Amino acid sequence: MEVRHKHNQFAPLYNGMFSHPVWAARADRAQSITGLLLGLFIIVHLHFESSIMLGKQAFYTVVQFLEGGIFSESGHGFPILTQVFSVFMLLIVMLHALFALRRFPTQIKQWFKLREQMNVIPHQDTKIWFWQMLTGFILFFLVPVHLFTLIATPDIGPHLSAERVYHDNAWLLYLVLLPAVVIHAMFGLYRVVIKWGIFSNRVGLLKLAKVMVVYLIALGIASLVTYLVIGHGLALPVVPYSGV
């Protein structure tokens, strides 16, 4: 009870607003909704990115479709849509982080107490919550970097994306971002589904979450390696891919 009391008082930013039962319930719903949107987006996003493994043309086709190429006479998409969507996702991430910070331990003693509890009572969901906090802390710094890059330079394609990954060394960012975002998203979806009683088979759902973590990380690494191979073969300055 002592840790909970300190936790509820940790942030002057909130000014006690979320301590009211009504606002606390609304914050819980908002955190779950934004987390659900972000988790589902990660699944879709990594599959779209994996189209690079089918070839440059396949990835180019996917990008043009997502950027509204079907509404263009030339068939080329509108990069501004990438900027707009990136801004929207950044706002969702900020909202999710705002509501999630209510439950984040802010004192080193609280971290020690949590670790002590995990050692004494090795409950599976407590471990998941710990990994949620750890990956959430990492994503708090890395996700804005990724989104700001897309907002500043929205041009996407097999050559330009490979240039970022290989020549601009963005693979270093993605090597940390990928496992952190997948673990956070999949276990986050698990917790949302259990929390709101959408699915009652906790054991089966947890197994599915773990399988998805391994699958999505493997998928992301394979895509990243493909970008590295393409980038290695590109001469500078890089000429954007324009289709077959």
Residues 161-216 have pLDDT tens digits of 999 999 999 999 999 999 999 999 999 999 999 988 888 788 999 999 999 999 99
Inter-residue contact 46 to 219 (CB < 8 Å)? yes
Q: What pLDDT score was predicted for residue 58?
A: 96
107: left (phi over 0), alpha (psi -120 to 50) or beta: beta
Q: What pLDDT score was predicted for residue 21?
A: 66
Sign of CA dihedral 231, 235, 240, 241: negative
Q: What is the pTM of this model?
A: 0.84
Residues 78-99 have pLDDT tens digits of 999 999 999 999 999 999 998 8
Q: Please tell me the distance from the alpha carbon of residue 174 to that of residue 190, in angstroms, as a whole number.
A: 23
Q: What pLDDT score was predicted for residue 184?
A: 96
Inter-residue contact 184 to 134 (CB < 8 Å)? no
Question: How wide is the angle at C-alpha 233 spanned by C-alphas 168 and 224, nearest 5°?
Answer: 55
Binding residues for heme b: 45, 96, 146, 184
Binding residues: 45, 96, 146, 184
> Can you spell out the DSSP letters for 147-178?
HHHHHH-----HHHHHHHHHTT-THHHHHHHH
Domain architecture of the chain: domains with CATH: 2-232 (1.20.1300.10)
Q: What percent of the chain has pLDDT over 90?
A: 61
Please say if the pLDDT value at position 128 is more than 90. Answer: no
